[in-house]
Amino acid sequence: MNTHELFFRQLFDYETWTYTYLIADPETREAALIDTVKEQVERDLNLVKELGLHLKFVMETHVHADHITGADEIRHATEAKGVVGFGTHVACADIRLDDGAHVELGRFRIKALATPGHTNGCTSYLVAGRVFTGDALLIRGTGRTDFQQGSSSGLYDSITQKLFTLPDETLVYPAHDYRGVMVSTIEEEKKFNPRVGGGKTKEGFLEIMANLKLAMPKKIQIAVPANLACGSPPSPGKPEEAPSIRQG
């Protein structure tokens, strides 16, 4: 491992086309997993163990509708704290990051950017020149906005007013890609994203989103309730609300 740079691994779940990310400070060995998948918990924990990392955080960009998170299982198997964004009210999160707030991962800061629209609680995480955009900004696409308190207008604002103001060279890592593309940049998405790039207006975006006519995700009926409990059935003993960390 290069001790100066953020350690980074991109992992893939072939059932749900989900990317999970493992990041770490190679010097302090502190690590975080972003957007885990329940069926892949063993894979992820094995990798963390093999690499001698200490898992500090298991983070969610939002409450997923297409797969069940491994967050709660991982929290129980390790000392990792569950981290979610400002508007994600799940019973099992330990830390809720408001817009602009951050957590520290060794020498690195993971900053939360509120990017609602796909869901009302979507948060992107910015660290060391990479942004993990969940289902807000996808590669040459965006998340859908037709359920989970989605808002096309809100998503357009989140992408154009927040994500597109990041430096052009910022690497974009989404929660999914259905064509096998693994990474993009803010510059590329500003130029080529067919929904929000190339100067697309909000009106144009609203029209595209209103006419997508997508089928519901196969797992939505089980995934959303399960993910509100971070992948485990809710237990009455758990705290209702995580403490919120404000701008920092």
Closer to Fe ion by Cβ: residue 108 or 156: 156
User: Which residue's C-beta sits nearest to Fe ion?
Assistant: 135
Instruction: Tell me whether residue 92 or residue 136 sits nearer to Fe ion (CB atom).
Output: 136
- Smallest separation (angstroms) from Fe ion to the CB of 27: 33
Burial 4-23 (b: 16+ CB within 10 A, else e): eebbeeebbbeebebbbbbb
Cβ nearer to Fe ion, comparing 64 with 195 = 64
Q: Quick check: 135 binds Fe ion (CB under 5 A)? A: yes
Nearer to Fe ion, 30 or 35 (CB): 35
Pairing of strands 54-59, 81-85: parallel
Beta strands in 80-139 (DSSP E): 81-85, 95-97, 102-105, 108-114, 123-127, 130-134, 137-138
Whose Cβ is closer to Fe ion: residue 24's or residue 114's? Answer: 114
What's the min distance (Å) between Cβ of 148 and Fe ion?
A: 8
**Sole window of 21-29, 31-39, 62-70, 161-169 interacting with Fe ion (rule: CB under 5 A):** 62-70
Query: Within 13 Å of residue 177, how many CA atoms lie on the same side as its CB?
Result: 20
Dmax (CA) for the chain in angstroms is 50
User: Does 35 help bind Fe ion (rule: CB under 5 A)?
Assistant: no
CA distance 104 to 107: 7
Quote the least distance from Cβ 110 to Fe ion, whole Å: 20
Helix, strand counts (H, E) of the chain = 6, 15
The stretch among 4-12, 60-68, 87-95, 197-205 that binds Fe ion (CB under 5 A) is 60-68
Binding positions for Fe ion, rule: CB under 5 A: 64, 135
